[in-house]
Chains A and B, each alone.
Chain A
């Protein structure tokens, strides 16, 4: 039989969505925030973004080449990691900090654990925490020549001060490149929700839990200004919509996603209210990342016909 047809197991049709299309969508969704960062902080922000993304992609390429593995940079996941890392850098950071961060994110956090899908914590956040510990002064220096100097709004709030909430929502504040503009981040997040890349389950529970926590323990009661400052300040929005929703490091079960959101909210609240630093999102996320296998195991769904048909 020379003209045999191709055979394979069912199904014989598949959806158009691919890993690279999802990653590309995430990058598009990050563009408003990145664009605002460049507008807000100037050219150095752009340089840092380009260098960080490029070095993340290049690192993955070189690593895979050296290890004689199939090259996977086409799936765009390294580019997303690079972009997310850049969003988490202060605009004043020198370019080589971006490079070191990217190399750490790709090699140590991602590839050494088996590459895409195997890393147990978000590579960009792992790298950010690594940089924070290694280059503390650079990573916490939010002075941008002629634009901003001194502390971030969240740090001011922590010291008992207040900040113009409108400026915080729009993003005209000091901070890392991509975290300052709540509006830009939410626009990107809405896009991802509309095209079914992320759901509100994790970010929604995260934010609600966090708000409840600071109302109870923040020392300001139910104070709308304080709550808005806490929501719009720091990395909460970027973390909730873009880092906590990272597929690889979040639970795959629906119930697990709610539990994960609650963990994030509690940890962020604890770090921000009781911790020495004003920030807490990065650590909250990477610690919760570590809980994911456990969360997933205890929240496995019930099968259809065994009580699981309704959810």
Chain B
């Protein structure tokens, strides 16, 4: 069934050489730590600490605010300075808990690590994941515990670890696979323990042959886990595309992966599951690639969530040249930042500093109907037409021609020879339509 690829997609300059051979380095935060209460999809977390409270590393500071939500933990020891709105990567102001770091790193005692999964019931595994505040760390931030409780767990046939890392420049997942592949495999085993009929797939793009080899080596005695070498192409790591590439099943925007018998989790998420289940540790760290041609010493850092972005830049040797654009996340789907005073969240995969802003340097010109956007669209849409509907606010046509199926991957804008901001206009129209649908 597996085709190991999908139709459409692009091959951008990958920029991974800047940081792919740099081992993960731990970063200790110096300034205050900021914990936005919304670092996930769903209800914001509810603070359970107040201003002036002393907290220690690994202490829960906010409770899940509903079923689709996730708790948040302190990643340093110190004092709660305030609970106030703070700027996040999207540019929004989000209510956040601010903790002043006392530099002691006193930590909660998590108890003896679990050695054997057989000692745990399925409920216990899910509970640990839920309590640990694990969310999808590839970017979406969907609470993992919710994902792990589909309506019919027996119908799940594939648990896919998304190790594609198809975004250019990003190497955090790659480093994780190279340095801690055991954790990834153990995390996968914990997930597989929940689904009796499922097969585990570690889906890696074939531009990381050493990682593939390492994982294949480690899983050769694991009957339930296989490694899939996917064709290197952006957006191979998009959820719908990776499901299609590994299983040949296709879902649309109205379906969940579970409807196709699949559960998809990013590498870092699976490792977080491992930590939650085996080490009983909450989600407190993530790997962030700090890279780009403006950075003196591009690196991969293991960062305590809440750490200020400016500190990460300093850790990477600061700017070699003045950057023109700073992006949180990958260059295809990340958020451009107008300032560095934002915290690292659970979903921040990279900090990309570019000396040149290719996008603003280009003047959009008339569409010549070349069809490149149609050729590359992984959702098989006609971006050119959707963009016209979006600019003219022709809602009906936009929905009729499946504008809502767009995954905002950016391929159409990337290839457009007339440099038209297709993704941007389609994305805004989509947002409006989705908001409208929610109101109904």
- Name A residues whose Cβ lies closer than 8 Å to a Cβ of B: 1, 4-15, 17-19, 21-22, 72, 75, 77, 115-118, 247-250, 252-254, 300-306, 308-311
Pairs across A and B, CB under 8 Å, 16 listed:
A9-B336, A9-B423, A10-B423, A11-B413, A12-B332, A13-B331, A14-B358, A15-B12, A19-B368, A21-B417, A117-B418, A252-B371, A301-B382, A303-B252, A305-B255, A305-B379
Is the pair B338, A19 in contact by a Cβ cutoff of 8 Å?
no
Residues of chain B having any CB pair with chain A under 8 Å: 6-7, 10, 12-13, 91, 168, 240-241, 244, 250-253, 255, 323-327, 331-339, 352, 354, 357-360, 362, 365-372, 374, 378-382, 384-385, 401-402, 405, 408, 410-411, 413-419, 421, 423-424, 427
A13-B168, A303-B381 known; A77-B336 Cβ under 8 A: no
Docked pose: A14 CA to B413 CA in angstroms: 7
- B residues less than 8 Å from A300 (CB atoms): 382, 385, 401
Residues of A within 8 A of B327 (CB): 12
Which of A75, A118, A309 lies in contact with B250, CB distance below 8 A? Answer: A309
Which chain A residue has the least Cβ–Cβ distance from B413?
A11
- Are A11 and B418 neighbours in the complex by a CB distance under 8 Å? no
Task: Indicate if the CB atoms of A302 and B358 lie closer than 8 Å.
Answer: no
Nearest-neighbour CB distance to chain B for A110, whole angstroms, equals 11
Chain B's interface: helix, strand, loop or mixed, by majority?
loop
Known A5-B338, A248-B368, A310-B7; judge A304-B360 contact (CB<8 A). no
Contact of B402 among A10, A13, A306 (CB under 8 A): A306
- Chain A residues with CB under 8 A of B379: 303-305
Chain A contact surface mostly: loop
Q: How far is A247 from B384 in the complex, measured between Cα atoms in Å?
A: 13
* B368 near A253: Cβ-Cβ < 8 Å: no
Q: How far does the alpha carbon of A7 sit from the alpha carbon of B323 in the complex, in Å?
A: 12
B323 nearest in chain A by CB position: A5
Contacts of A7 in B (CB 8 A): 91, 325, 336-338
Bound form: Cα–Cα A72–B367 in Å: 13
Contact of A22 among B325, B370, B423 (CB under 8 A): B370
A77 touches B368 (CB 8 A): yes
Asked whether B374 lies within 8 Å of A252 as measured between CB atoms, the reply is yes
Evaluate contact between A11 and B380: CB separation under 8 angstroms: no
In the bound complex, residues from chain A placing their C-beta under 8 Å from that of B368 are: 19, 22, 77, 116-117, 247-248
A302 to B7, CA, bound (A): 13
- Whole-angstrom CA separation of A62 from B32 in the bound complex: 62
Chain B, residue nearest A75 (CB)? B365
Question: Nearest Cβ distance between residue A197 and chain B, in whole angstroms?
Answer: 9
Nearest chain B CB to A292 CB, angstrom units: 9
Provide the bound-state CA to CA distance between A305 and B248, in Å: 11
Do B369 and A117 touch across chains, with their CB atoms under 8 A apart?
Answer: yes
Beta-carbon contact of A9 and B421 below 8 Å: yes
Give the complex CA separation of A22 and B418 in angstroms.
10
With A4-B339, A13-B331, A252-B382 already in contact, the answer to whether A19 and B417 are too (CB < 8 A) is yes
A105 vs B416: C-alpha distance in the bound complex, in angstroms? 26
Give CA–CA (A75, B427) in the complex, Å.
28
Q: Measured between C-beta atoms, what is the minimum distance from B53 to chain A in Å?
A: 31
| A115 pairs with B366, CB closer than 8 A | yes
Known: A19-B365, A21-B417. A10 touches B408 (CB 8 A): yes
The 7 A-B pairs of least Cβ separation, nearest first, read: A305-B252, A11-B410, A9-B424, A308-B380, A7-B336, A309-B250, A303-B402
